Amino acid sequence: MPNCKLCVLVAVLALAGCTEVPAPQSTDPFAGMQWIDLTHAYDAETIFWPTGKPFEHVQTSWGEAEGGYFYSAYDFAVSEHAGTHLDAPIHFSAGGATIDNIPLDNLIGPAVVIDVVAQAAADRDYLASVEDLSKYEAEYGPITADDVVLIRTGWSARWPNTLEYMGDDRPGRADELHFPGIAPELAEVLAQRGVKAVGIDTASIDYGASKDFQTHQILMGAGVTGLENLVGLDALPARGSWVVALPMKIGAGSGAPARIAALVRR
């Protein structure tokens, strides 16, 4: 059925002697935008925390079913903290929210992308600092409580080489890891700002050599969600994109695999 309001508008314009009819506006709320996937696939190459469980994907059915149609199914198992995933506040805060209790509003918001690629290339134990934040804000403006802060180190280019990505590939050993992270001092500032979430394209918001995970403690103690093992941050502007970070809704989960994406203007 034609749009009645549009038909009336065309008739009125015709009677008024107007020959140009305005084109109907797009109903697509994402017109002129594109989605950027910030998620590594879960497969046999998925990198996981050395003390956690690797991704397992077991085929249980494949082929023609008795009814004559094709059917396939799999079982899977994995640590909460493997691959691209969310850390819920309860991961490092006894009173923090579990995965299933994180408000959706805290998982969606404007992205702030702080680039420390050059620093990380020169030092694989580099800690994104308050100085990096200050330089960013001097150019792009202040970070607010509505923001999702993403630290881009360039480390995702090393995926899925565990040795290159983690600094050590010995199963069960997490005492000699080396990769960039976020300085506790910067975590303090971000917690004070009340940002929604903090993410990074490495295996942890704490750097690999950390022994006490201060950055986790600070952010999650303030109720801030962590996003880890991101990819594709090079496709995002420093400002202007929106992040959607939706985890598997695991009841009482301390973390969960997630599909994380960003909406960017074309």
Q: Are strands 225-228 and 85-87 parallel, antiparallel or unpaired?
A: antiparallel
C-alpha dist (Å) from residue 243 to 1, 49, 195, 206: 37, 24, 13, 21
Examine the residue annotation and report whether 91 is marked as an active-site residue of this protein: yes
Residues recorded for the chain: 266
In 3D space, the residue among 125, 99, 105, 138 whose CA is nearest the CA of residue 211 turns out to be 125
Give the span between the Cα atoms of 209 and 143, in whole angstroms: 28
For residue 179, the surrounding DSSP H or E stretch is none
- Which is catalytic among the residues 81, 85, 91, 216? 91
Residue type, 149: V
78: region left, alpha or beta (phi > 0 left; psi from -120 to 50 alpha): beta
Give the span between the Cα atoms of 45 and 106, in whole angstroms: 30
Q: What amino acid positions are annotated as catalytic residues? A: 91
